[in-house]
């Protein structure tokens, strides 16, 4: 959270997506960075949300189907804990994270305001893309079945 350290937990995603030609080291994120990050995110043909990984894989399969008709992004989960905050659902995961952060929660939120806004906009775009896929629930169920088959279940 120190201003003189790399922005690993200070609007990192916004700085990462914005203006690669400008040095990110040791500088704060600003409205121009946010606008550029938003423009870049909007330019992507599809984007996924890690908290909605399975849904993201179905979205990517459907987006890429015209080019790769047999694409199968089924996977076996790796490097995950048994109980993770993202398994709780959005609201409970947020509450859990804020509780874990304790007294620094307000500072973390303040120093990541652009990242939070970028995430919210990306989540809205993701949800709109998912809602535009016909029979999405059936495709998601099929995807999860394929994942289970890979696990041998």
What is the average pLDDT value for the chain, to the nearest integer? Answer: 87
Q: pLDDT tier at 19 (50, 70, 90 boundaries)? A: confident
> What pLDDT is recorded for position 22?
57
The pLDDT value recorded for residue 78 is 86
Distance CA 34, CA 16 (A): 10
Burial (Cβ within 10 Å: 0-12, 13-18, ≥19) of residue 76: exposed
Using a cut of 0.95, tell me whether the model's pTM lies above it.
no
User: Residues 57-110: pLDDT tens digits?
Assistant: 999 999 999 999 999 999 998 877 655 555 666 778 778 888 888 888 898 888
């Amino acid at each position: 959270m120190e201003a003189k350290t790399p922005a690993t937990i200070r609007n990192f995603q916004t700085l990462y997506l914005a203006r690669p030609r400008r040095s990110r080291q040791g500088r704060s994120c600003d409205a121009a960075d946010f606008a550029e990050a938003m423009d870049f995110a909007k330019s992507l043909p599809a984007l996924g949300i890690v908290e909605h990984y399975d849904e993201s894989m179905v979205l990517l399969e459907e987006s890429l189907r015209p080019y790769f008709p047999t694409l199968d992004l089924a996977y076996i989960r790796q490097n995950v804990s048994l109980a993770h905050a993202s398994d709780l659902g959005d609201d409970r995961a947020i509450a859990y994270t804020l509780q874990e952060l304790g007294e620094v929660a307000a500072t973390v939120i303040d120093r990541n305001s652009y990242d939070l806004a970028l995430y919210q906009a990306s989540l809205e775009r993701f949800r709109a893309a998912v809602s535009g896929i016909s029979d999405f629930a059936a495709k998601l169920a099929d995807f999860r079945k394929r994942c289970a088959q890979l696990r041998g279940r």
